[in-house]
Amino acid sequence: MKIEKILEGKKALVSQGTVSVKVDVSLLENPQPGDHVIVHAGFAIETLSLAEAEERLELFRRMAELTGDA
């Protein structure tokens, strides 16, 4: 997901496509708007480069196609 805005209390608004959620970013070092992150159970747990994020999103798209969930 992409950090859209840093909020108070170590929270951030993140989005992917049409989905936006608030997550806890306290596990990240210096999160910034524009960063791409992995989110699990309401926490941003890892920061990715744009290339890594795009590669992982493509893998998820391929898996969805293979399972018929696309």
DSSP SS3 for 18: coil
Please identify, in words, the CATH class of the domain defined by 2-67: mainly beta
**Nearest-CA neighbor of 44 among 58, 62, 61, 23?**
23
Consecutive sets of 10 residues in the chain, 70 residues long: mean pLDDT of each?
97 95 97 97 96 92 86
DSSP SS3 for 27: coil
DSSP SS3 for 56: helix
